[in-house]
Every structure is written in structure tokens, then in C-alpha cells.
Structure 1
Amino acid sequence: MDMVILVTLLIVIVGLAFDFINGFHDIANAVATCISTRALKPRVAILMAAVMNFLGAISFTGVAEALTKDIVDPFALDHGEFVVLCGLVAAVIWNLMTWVIGMPSSSSHALIGAIAGASVASAGHFSVLNYSGFTTIIIALIISPIIGFGVGFSIYSLFKWLFRNKKRVKTNRQFRLAQIGTAALQAYAHGTNDAQKTMGVITLALIASGFLKETAGVPFWVQFLCALSMAVGSSVGGYRIIKTVGTKIMRIEPVTGVAADISSLSVIMTATLIHLPVSTTQVIDSSIMGVGTANHKKEVNWRTGKNMLLTWLITLPSAAILAAIVYELSAAVFL
């Protein structure tokens, strides 16, 4: 088998594996609130989220098409398809490491950082990166959780004012049913943004290896397989991370869960519609913290929040360094 074909095939396989891992790694963020309040049983919530993830992933391609040109020019790289493969392998390794310890790190940061790290290692200089596009992506990744926190704080402050004369128990009872709907929409929003990142990377590899024209969009088979892989991964469920998101940030009630879901899904869907990749993990977790702060800042476990922030900060550079190491070791053997 021709080496280019083999490497491209491996990219598709590893890319789908990344989406599968992303599914059970990140789906916790979409359903943790409704599981922690017992609005849905864990298995039911996860299966619902898997279906909604698939529908979201199959609905959009704008983020994927932006990624194919905004990180790096595949034609500027020697063995561009090999670079993409090393980046994917590094991102998979990082996601598995953070899943083992139950820490909701950003799959988006891991993937984008890994592709950038492998590209720089291959070229030997940073100018290989598309600075304008790469900077836009990084700014979106940094600002989106801040916006999520602010929206969460604002929405729950509005809820507190609207339901100020109602008993808490009655309000929670009313919001428990609504929480099922917001959790479903949350999972849909997750699919619209997260699955597209791998679609973009696979498309990047197909362009670099000459199987697609530079102006070509995301092939439907790539879109379908990425959506299916994430949905199947979602159905497995990331119970370790569900525990962290659902219980260790703050004590979530139906009313606070609905506020957090509405906040995060609105930010994620807005990003999808304007073709910006954001970290769904960061947006969801920061929205929960924003809601908790609006409710009572002492309700938020800031120690968990600090640990999450540290993980978010180190993910992109760590994934980049890991990808550079994977590339150098692999290139010494295969190139």
C-alpha cells in the first residue's frame, strides 16, 4: 500500500478514535447537571445526549471548514499528512490522561495545540502557523469561558428576581422537567461545535495528501463518521467526569441546572453559527461557576475551579509539546 494512502487511512481511524474519546470525555459536561439533580437517570441521560450529539454534529460544517485553513497551511509542510497524524495521536493521549484522573480538560485545546505543535516541529519554526487564524481561534477559546461565566451569572440573577416570591422546593419541582429539555439542547450544541473540529482535521489531511482540492468543503462521509463516532462515544458515558462536573463545582439544583444549561448552550450555539471553535468543556463549567456565584459565591468549590483552570491553561501548550515529541520520535523511525 502506498505510504500516503496508509497515513491518510490512519488519520481517519485515529481521528474517529479521538471523536469517540471526545464523546465519553466531554458528554459529561452536557448531562452532569440533570444527572446530579436526578431529573434523569444516568443511562437515560447519556443515551439522550448521544442522539442529540449526533444530530448536532450532522447539522453544521462551518467550524470544520474554518479549521482547515485557520491553523496551518497543509501545503507549507513536508509530509503534511504525517504531521496531522502525529497531532491526532498526541491529542488522543492527552484526552485519555485527563479522563483517567477525572479532570474535564478541553479536547478543543488538546487538538488545536497538538496540530500546531506537530506542525512547528516539522517545519522547525513558528511561522508555519497561520497567525491571524490561529490567534482568532485562541482568542475565542480564552474569551468564551469568560462570556459563559458572565451569561451564567446574568441568567441566574434574572431567575432569582423572577421567582423571588416562590418557594424554592416548588420552583425546583417545576424546573426539573425543563432541565430535561435544556440538557438535550446542551448535548445538541456540544455536537454542533466539538465534532466539527475532527472533521476539519481529517479534511486538512485529505487536502495535504492530495485527495481533496484546497477549496473543497467537508465531505459528507467525513461529517457522518465523525458524528457517529462522537455519538457512540457519548453512549459509553464519562462517569468520572460527570462526578466532577455534577457534584464538585457546586451543589446543583434543577433551577440552577437549567440556568447553567441555557447559558452554556447559548454561547456554544453562537460560536457555531459564526464558525468559531470553542471549548465546550470550558463554557459549560464556567457557566456553572457563574450561576453558583450569582446564587451565593460560597456555594462554588473554588478549589475545584482552580484545578480546572490550571488544567485548561496547561492543556494547549502541553498537547503541543507532546505532539512535537510524538512527531520527532515518529519521524526518526518512519521518515
Structure 2
Amino acid sequence: MEHITLLLGIVIITALVFDFTNGFHDTANAMATTISTGALKPKTAVAMSAVLNLVGAFMSVEVAKTISKGLVNEDGIQPEVIFAALVGAILWNLVTWLVGLPSSSSHALMGGLIGAAVATAGLGAVNGGTLVTKVLIPAVAAPVVAGVAAMLATKVTYKLGKNVGEKTSAKGYRAGQIASAGLVSLAHGTNDAQKTMGIITLALVAGGALAPGSNPPVWVIVSAGMAIALGTYLGGWRIIRTMGKGLTDLQPQQGFTAQTSAAAVILASSNLGFSLSTTHSCSGAVMGAGLGRKGGVVRWSTATRMFVAWGLTLPAAALVGAGAELVMRTGDIGVAAVALFLVASCVAIWLISRRQVVDHNNVNEDEPAEAPGVVTTAIAAVTVPPAGTTAAVADEDLKATIPAPAHTTADETPAATAPAV
């Protein structure tokens, strides 16, 4: 193994922590629709996804090369910069997980890296061409392509199934969902696990432990694959609920077409070295499948909050990464301060999440239906809606953070399994 200094070791461990959060944050990409339609039990689904994520991590290193050798210039990048980038990415992952919003772990990582690199070496540290062609364009194109493909596939599926009984059709598509969910999990491993491989490789190059331009060592591939698999197994239940119930109501046919369309987009991008967001692809596919069924709807209030999170991911992570880099310029004291801030923030977010536990036991509870003229008490407690807002925001995690008033209707009452606050 390469010569690893203490600081470099801290950076590698932090990168694996990010990989772990990536796993439970993005489990919903593969398994939300399979869980919501009942094709697989929740724990079985996440276990299957974990194994396939691990397998996928060994299938390609093209995306890892984009991160380690393409996005930022290796010259002048020190391990401290990468540590700062990881701080921004981890915190954004945890914040969006807390509120149950599917956002891109990939863009959080790249945003943190860009912010930290610019803070230490200026705008010239970022390869603008790579950023545009392999990050920004795929970020916009992926949900659109996956959504259109899923919508068309759903329409075709229902037309072909007209002469087949509903129960027979649903049973067949449940089996198809299991297969397509496995394909998405495999695709996730080929794309997202490699981002951590790339960031660790970049750290090893920056720390002088690897020659510039090196590919990820085998031990990096193994450790990154195991970290994302472990995170996947624990399950990001909050985001699974949003993806499976919050965006639209899915039938097995729609779940199958959504997952198959997303997997095709992700696998194609991995082979091309595009650092694609699996979250964007899967979310777009779910919405497309929702629109593809006659009478199907998309809950645009939830989708709008998700779109806002997508837009904030790169700049928010970049600002945190840049701030962490500036603090660490003070030396060892600055590095220690940033590390303590990261640990304290992670603990605080976890403690807040315990107020309303979402796990495999209650992940499939229905979201409240959107109703004109109704604003849930929870969202009112969190933020003041814009003037004229009428749509309810379907988010069980936020809604359950305060007690329901005595006059609350059955649809607005928090689930019975939720602990009292």
C-alpha cells in the first residue's frame, strides 16, 4: 500500500464516510418503486441493492477517472482541499436526507471539490470544459431523457396489457420490477461508488502517495464498494418514502418502466465517463412513469422542492467546501476545527432525525394527498409559504416534527407509529 500520512488517512476515512452516506442517501434510486408497489419487502430490497452496488463498483473506472483526472487540475491540490470538499458533500447529503429530498450525492461531491479548489487556487483550478460536458449537461439531460423514455414506455406497456387481466399483468410486472431494480443497483455501483474512488485517488496523488494520472488502486476500489454497499443496506428510508409515495402513485407496470429507463441512462453514461446523477435519472423516470399512465398525476409541490434542492446542491456544497478550506489555512487548529464542526453537525442532524423515525416498518405509509386551500401545519412551522400558495406539501418527515392539532383530519394525522414529540 502507498505511504499514507495521518492527514491523508483522515481524508480517506472521510471519503469513505461520504461513500457511506451516498449509499443510504441513494438507496431510493433503485428500490423506492419496488418497495412502494410491494414487489419486495423493504429489508429484502435494500439487501439486494447493497450486494449489487458492491458488484457494480468493480465493473468500470471511467467515472473515477473523470473525478480524479478531469474535473480539477491536480497541480496545487492538497489533501486539505479534498477534506474541505468532503465536508461540504457530507453535510449536504445529510441535510437533504433529513428532510426526505432526493438530491444528487454526485453533485454535492463535485460542488464541494469545486468550491475548495477555487478557494485555494482560483478559478483556473477547475477544468471548465469537463465541468460543462461531463457534469452540467448530463445533469440537465439525464432526468429529461429518463423521464421521456419512462413516459413512452409506460404508455406502450399499458396498451400492450389491455388484453391481459389486471392481476396477471401486475404479477408479471412485479417480477420485472425486481429485475429492473437489480439493474439500477448495479448501475448505481458502476457510477456512484466510482466517485469516491476518484476522490480518494485524487487525494493520494495530492499527498504524493500516487503518481499523477494513476488509476484507482485495487484497495481503493474494494473499500469504496464496501462502504457504499453498507450504506445502501441500512436504507435511506426517508428518501425512499418520498420517491415511492411522494412524487406519484405507482403501479407495478410504472415501477418497471421507470427503473428500466433509469438503468439504461445510467449504464450508458457510466461507459462514456459521464459523472451522472443517479438521483436525477431515477426521479425523472418516476415522474415520467407517473405521467405515462392515463389518470396518473405528479405531485408538483414535492417535485418543486426537489428541483430547488437540485439547483442548490452544487453552489451550497461549494460554499461549505470553500469555507472549510479557508478555515483550514490557519493550520492544524483549523483542520481540527473543521473536523469537529463536521462531527458535531452529523450528530446534531442524527438527533433531529430521531424525533420522527422513518424505517422499514413505516416507509410505505401513504403521503397526505394534495388539497387546494390546505397548508399542513408542519410546513407552516418550518417556513412561510409564498403569497397565494394553496397546495399542500406532501412530506411526512416534516409534518410529524410537531404535534397535530385536535381538529386535524385523518389524512393529515401523523402515522400511529411515529413517536410523540
The aligned amino acid for 1:256 is Q
Q: Does 1:218 align with 2:243?
A: no
Report the counterpart of residue 285 of structure 2 in structure 1: 287
Contact 1:35–1:41 (8 Å) recurs in 2: yes
Report the counterpart of residue 14 of structure 1 in structure 2: 14
User: Partners in 2 of 1:68 and 1:191 — Cα distance?
Assistant: 17
Task: Kindly provide the CA deviation profile for residues 104-144 of structure 1, in whole angstroms up to 9, marking residues without a partner as x.
Answer: 11101100000000000112x21221111122222122211
Q: 5+ unaligned residues in a row in structure 1: which ranges?
A: none
Contact 1:178–1:258 (8 Å) recurs in 2: yes
Contact 1:70–1:132 (8 Å) recurs in 2: no
Report the counterpart of residue 209 of structure 1 in structure 2: 207
Deviation, structure 1 residue 25: 0.7
Deviation, structure 1 residue 4: 7.7
The aligned amino acid for 1:56 is G
Q: Does 1:30 align with 2:27?
A: no
User: Partners in 2 of 1:332 and 1:209 — Cα distance?
Assistant: 19
Which has more helix, going by share of residues? 1
SS of structure 2 residue aligned to 1:242: helix
The aligned amino acid for 1:104 is P
Of structures 1 and 2, the one with the larger relative CO (CA 8 A, separation 6+) is 1
Q: Does 1:126 align with 2:99?
A: no
Which of residues 132, 137, 140 in structure 1 aligns to 2:138?
A: 140
Give the alignment's Cα RMSD to 1 decimal.
1.5
Contact 1:4–1:81 (8 Å) recurs in 2: no
Report the counterpart of residue 297 of structure 2 in structure 1: 299
SS of structure 1 residue aligned to 2:330: helix
Stretch moving more, 104-113 or 133-142: 133-142
Deviation, structure 1 residue 76: 3.3
The aligned amino acid for 2:310 is W
Q: Does 1:107 align with 2:105?
A: yes
Q: 5+ unaligned residues in a row in structure 2: which ranges?
A: 335-421
Task: Kindly provide the CA deviation profile for residues 266-323 of structure 1, in whole angstroms up to 9, marking residues without a partner as x.
Answer: 0000001111110001100110101111114752111111111111011111110111
User: Partners in 2 of 1:22 and 1:85 — Cα distance?
Assistant: 16
The aligned amino acid for 1:155 is A
Normalised by the length of structure 2, the TM-score is 0.76
Alignment size in residue pairs? 330
User: Partners in 1 of 2:250 and 2:311 — Cα distance?
Assistant: 25
Report the counterpart of residue 309 of structure 1 in structure 2: 307
User: Partners in 2 of 1:110 and 1:265 — Cα distance?
Assistant: 21
Normalised by the length of structure 1, the TM-score is 0.95
User: Partners in 1 of 2:300 and 2:60 — Cα distance?
Assistant: 35
Contact 1:7–1:85 (8 Å) recurs in 2: no
Contact 1:186–1:261 (8 Å) recurs in 2: yes
User: Partners in 2 of 1:198 and 1:217 — Cα distance?
Assistant: 13
Q: Does 1:52 align with 2:52?
A: yes
Q: Are the structure 2 counterparts of residues 167 and 299 from structure 1 closer, same or farther at C-alpha, using a change threshold of 3 Å?
A: farther
User: Partners in 2 of 1:331 and 1:170 — Cα distance?
Assistant: 64
Sequence identity (%): 38
The aligned amino acid for 2:50 is A
Larger Rg, first or second structure (1 or 2)? 2
Runs of 4+ off more than 2 Å: 164-170, 332-335
Alignment of 1:1-335 (within 5 A): 5-77=5-77, 80-123=78-121, 125-136=122-133, 137-296=135-294, 299-334=297-332
